Chains A and B, each alone.
Chain A
Amino acid sequence: MEKKTEKILDLFRSELIVVNVGPKSFADVLEKQGFETLQVDYKPAAGGDRRMMEMLEYLGGY
């Protein structure tokens, strides 16, 4: 039986390849550090100011 930590240890042993869903800048800084990224363009639904506000709101959560 596969150990429950096996997939996580696999991640630690592998080259990190990141799929970035959200602001491209987060992918840019990973590429600047030498990591491969793939960008999924997340777009807020058209015409929803509420959603735009939420899009920005998550940035407040550091």
Chain B
Amino acid sequence: MAVYYKIIKDHYIDSLETLAQTTKLCDQPGIETGYVGMATQTFKDIVSEIGLACDQILAASEGDYVVAAKADTEEAFEKALKAISESASGASSKTRQTYLTVEQAASARPQANLCQISVPGEFALDVAKRALNAGMHLCVFSNNVPLEDEREMKELAREKGLLCMGPDCGVANINGSALVLSSIVNRGPFGIIGASGTGIQHVTAMLHEAGSGVSQAIGAGGNDIKEQVGGITMLMGIDALEEDPETKYLILIARKPAPSVLEKMLERLRSCRKPRVVYFMGCDRKAIEDTGSIYAGNLDECGERALELAGLACSLESEEEILALARKEAEGFAREQKYLRGAYSGGTYMDEAMRVMVDKIGPIWSNAPLEEAWRLEDSLKPRENACIDYGEEEFTLGRPHPAIDAGIRRPAILKEAADPEVAVITLDFILTPPGHPDPAGFVVPDIIKAQEMARERGGKLVFIASLLGTTADYQDIRLQEKKLRDAGAIVCRTNYRAALLASEIIRLIREKA
């Protein structure tokens, strides 16, 4: 076993592509570990940490592309290199024409009608204006876009009658497509307008799973409902979907809008002619119901209420079923096992889970806590009942989000399992077309090993997982669920239910003690 590397000078490959190549490289026979990337300082730090650094890599410049691996033989490394280069050329359409500017692309294909923008935040406005001036609607995934830039691009879009989804729009389904990080879902009668990516994906997946689907899902971006932006996209989305003949029902999802924006939305909802379900997190029930809309108090309820409008139902576990399962699972722990640990890849889901848990078992320590007093000093040293969001910047600096890069969260499983006081570990899995091809399978060996470690100590470790995705996603949610169940994990239908089960088990352990 030795370290091999290949450096190509001045060869730029974007971070999603290098990540896909890293996954492919590590899967090749004779490769123990490997890493692919542009030779930035972050890349050099990572290869040093995993024992792949050498003088040549450390001396490479930021414009250089590097493949490094610990391999059985040079031949195995060469074969692996061939495999990743074949997969790269296969993944990117060979015939796709590339252009230097938005204007060039627009004049080459005047029918192009949507521009998907994922550039650093400070450059997003410039690209957005070019696309709007070329007559295209926008889906802006870039985040860290200054609010004044967001306002400007949305005002220009409104003036031109074009839709501006985002900035920070990770989830949108237009004309049956799954843009950016959305799940692939069936088409159907529900039009969704949301300012929460996970929220939209959660509800679209529920609709799909119940045999229905979406006409259009419009992602407004989390900042749309702030005072400075004024809900421009949310309001335009309501106008458009109200006119759209394919949309029979509306669903609105957002964190609580700023007061002036909420007022505008409630006023608009009062005159809305289509049946609608509204989930504004933390918003007063009466205010929503007074507009003639159906109120939802959480994401699961939002999906359930919407399906009821169409005479459909989804099969979520009842609270009684979860409590019964908790009683069964609360047996067999070692005396010192009394805490839960959550390792989350999505901030929205962790937040939802902690709100459920805190009601049952009190404070939840975290790197993004519900209350400042519960903030962990060191995210790598969780204490008592704790949840960690692996999508926070401290983990993602220089790497894509854990919904795409499953490797970010993986070490957490065995680390938490090594703590003899831990009884329950919760994990969320988010399926997305550009994401890891097998996020559940990727961590199964660790889940099995973690349970063995607990058994050797005379106890047991309960893994509770929830998955966000659909049967149409390339990873196939049923297949992913099966892998986790086969490894001994409990799979709940939703994140809310997983959190309820986990915290009820801990509550019962505490009660017995």
Q: Are A59 and B102 in contact (CB under 8 A)?
A: no
Q: What 1/0 flags go to A4-33 for Cβ under 8 Å of B? A: 111111111011111111111111111111
Q: What 1/0 flags go to B368-390 for Cβ under 8 Å of A? A: 00000000000000000000000
Given the known inter-chain contacts A20-B116, A49-B40, A55-B15, please indicate yes or no for A25 contacting B398, CB distance below 8 A. Answer: no
Given the known inter-chain contacts A11-B137, A39-B97, please indicate yes or no for A55 contacting B216, CB distance below 8 A. Answer: no
Given the known inter-chain contacts A8-B163, A21-B118, please indicate yes or no for A61 contacting B168, CB distance below 8 A. Answer: yes
With a CB–CB cut-off of 8 A, which chain B residues contact A21?
102, 115-119, 127, 131
Given the known inter-chain contacts A8-B137, A19-B106, please indicate yes or no for A58 contacting B119, CB distance below 8 A. Answer: yes
Bound-state CA distance A21–B91 (Å) is 17
Q: Are B115 and A25 in contact (CB under 8 A)?
A: no
Bound-state CA distance A58–B45 (Å) is 20
With a CB–CB cut-off of 8 A, which chain A residues contact B176?
16, 33
Q: Are B434 and A57 in contact (CB under 8 A)?
A: no
Tell me the residues in window 93-108 of chain B with beta carbons closer than 8 Å to chain A beta carbons: 93, 96-102, 104-106, 108
Bound-state CA distance A42–B127 (Å) is 10
Given the known inter-chain contacts A21-B118, A59-B396, please indicate yes or no for A43 contacting B240, CB distance below 8 A. Answer: no
Bound-state CA distance A14–B400 (Å) is 33
With a CB–CB cut-off of 8 A, which chain B residues contact A41?
98-100
Q: Are A19 and B161 in contact (CB under 8 A)?
A: no
With a CB–CB cut-off of 8 A, which chain A residues contact B398?
53, 56
Q: Could you say which of B178-186, B293-301, B411-419, B477-485 contacts chain A? A: B178-186
Given the known inter-chain contacts A11-B163, A16-B174, A62-B403, please indicate yes or no for A38 contacting B109, CB distance below 8 A. Answer: yes
Bound-state CA distance A38–B97 (Å) is 6
With a CB–CB cut-off of 8 A, which chain A residues contact B399?
56, 59
Tell me the residues in window 171-203 of chain B with beta carbons closer than 8 Å to chain A beta carbons: 174-181, 184, 197-198
Given the known inter-chain contacts A9-B243, A60-B391, A62-B181, please indicate yes or no for A27 contacting B112, CB distance below 8 A. Answer: no
Bound-state CA distance A9–B96 (Å) is 28
Q: What 1/0 flags go to B389-427 for Cβ under 8 Å of A? A: 001010011111101100000000000000000000000
Bound-state CA distance A40–B257 (Å) is 35
> Pick the contact of B15 from A23, A35, A61 — CB < 8 Å?
A23
How many Å from the CB of B404 to the closest CB on chain A? Answer: 7
With a CB–CB cut-off of 8 A, which chain A residues contact B121?
54, 58
Q: Are A5 and B12 in contact (CB under 8 A)?
A: no
Q: Are A19 and B391 in contact (CB under 8 A)?
A: no
Would you call B20 an interface residue if the criterion is a C-beta within 8 Å of the partner chain's C-beta atoms?
Answer: yes
Would you call B114 an interface residue if the criterion is a C-beta within 8 Å of the partner chain's C-beta atoms?
Answer: yes
Q: Could you say which of B25-33, B140-148, B275-283, B356-364 contacts chain A? A: B140-148
* Inter-chain residue pair count (beta carbon < 8 A): 232
Bound-state CA distance A18–B172 (Å) is 13
How many Å from the CB of B388 to the closest CB on chain A? Answer: 15
How many Å from the CB of A42 to the closest CB on chain B? Answer: 5
Number of residues of chain B lying within 8 A (CB) of chain A? 86
Would you call B17 an interface residue if the criterion is a C-beta within 8 Å of the partner chain's C-beta atoms?
Answer: yes
> Pick the contact of B113 from A11, A54, A56 — CB < 8 Å?
A11
Would you call B78 an interface residue if the criterion is a C-beta within 8 Å of the partner chain's C-beta atoms?
Answer: no
How many Å from the CB of A4 to the closest CB on chain B? Answer: 6
Given the known inter-chain contacts A2-B161, A5-B240, please indicate yes or no for A26 contacting B40, CB distance below 8 A. Answer: no
With a CB–CB cut-off of 8 A, which chain B residues contact A22?
14, 116-119, 141-142
Would you call B254 an interface residue if the criterion is a C-beta within 8 Å of the partner chain's C-beta atoms?
Answer: no
Residue of B nearest to A22 (CB): B118
With a CB–CB cut-off of 8 A, which chain B residues contact A16?
113-114, 174-177
Bound-state CA distance A60–B15 (Å) is 12
Given the known inter-chain contacts A29-B433, A49-B62, A60-B396, please indicate yes or no for A24 contacting B127, CB distance below 8 A. Answer: no
Bound-state CA distance A25–B24 (Å) is 15
> Pick the contact of A55 from B91, B92, B120 — CB < 8 Å?
B120
Would you list 10 pairs from A and B whose C-beta atoms are within 8 A, ordered by A residue?
Answer: A12-B215, A18-B112, A20-B115, A21-B119, A29-B178, A29-B434, A38-B96, A39-B98, A42-B118, A56-B398
Binding site for B on A (CB under 8 A): 2-12, 14-33, 35-44, 46-47, 49, 51-62
Closest CB pairs A-B (n = 7): A22-B118, A61-B143, A54-B120, A29-B433, A25-B16, A60-B396, A59-B400
Known: A26-B16, A39-B99, A59-B399. 19 other contacts (CB 8 A): A7-B160, A8-B137, A19-B112, A22-B14, A23-B17, A25-B17, A32-B474, A47-B62, A49-B40, A49-B41, A55-B15, A56-B399, A57-B397, A58-B118, A58-B142, A59-B400, A61-B142, A61-B144, A62-B391
